[in-house]
Amino acid sequence: MKKVGFIGLGTMGLPMTKHLIDSDFETYVVSRSRGPIEEAVAYGAIEAKTPKELMEICDIVMTCLPVPKTIEEVYEGENGLIAGASPGKIVIDHSTVDRQTNEKVLNLLQEKGADFMDAPVSGGPMGASAGTLTIMCGGDEQTFLQAEPVMKAYGAYIVHVGAIGSGTVVKLLNNMLIGVHQAALAECYVMAEKAGVDPAVAYDLIQKSAGFSKSMDWAVDAILDREFDARFSINLLHKDIGLALNLAEEIDMPLDMVKLGAEKVALAKEKYGHQDVSAIVRPLEEKTGITLKRHKNQG
């Protein structure tokens, strides 16, 4: 069985790592936070001292990191992944970044004879824990075929989209829709309450109608129960929509609706950036004087 490595043991990376261990991969880990490292090691992982050491040990390495700057810190430098790369190694990046970062990393790894694939994931911490993530992959087809059996440890729907950066494009499309949906849903729920309709009842009916989106399932309980602990934070969504808008400018694509959604995300970020994306409703609640909550007749 191949030796695999994972860097970035956050709310997504830690459960993904546990699935690798459950699938009997010899799994090495690196993370800046001691708590997740200790939990992973207690579960059966082996700690490597640096990304370079992890790369030297493992056949396939996965990263799941928050922003492009973190990619640079982990991949580059004398103790980075690239320094430990050699022919035949594969690196899979599950982060949501940009095509330029994907292409830069690919070129640096190929100089060492290694292969690279951008493979952003969707499904949130719940999907990571359940092992049911959707994974959108960009890169060489042969690299994908070699990496797919490893990703099946935590992914349920894994698709090779095309050339390097194409997985990133699909992920940015997905996340810009999340921003638009959450902004529209905020108006939907507040409007229901203001018009005298229980938002939970409206949700139940819309869920079975043409206006439904998965974003409703994500948001409604969090809003009505006032549980805004971040599963996917407004800060991260704001970053992703910014990357999507940059891509649109690069390819000369107008995104009028997305820009409106981005304004609502930016407004929520000012006070609630570390909260869940469902908290995008909060500025509108403050503007209207309506705080949504579950009605007494609802469970």
Handedness of CA 269, 275, 277, 283 (dihedral sign): negative
CA 76 – CA 237 distance, rounded (Å) = 25
Clarify whether 171 is annotated catalytic. Answer: yes
45-73 residues labelled b (16+ CB within 10 A) or e (exposed):
beebebbbbbbbbbbbbbbbbbbbebbbe
Handedness of CA 73, 77, 79, 84 (dihedral sign): positive
List the catalytic residue out of 18, 89, 104, 171.
Answer: 171
Q: What are the catalytic residues?
A: 171
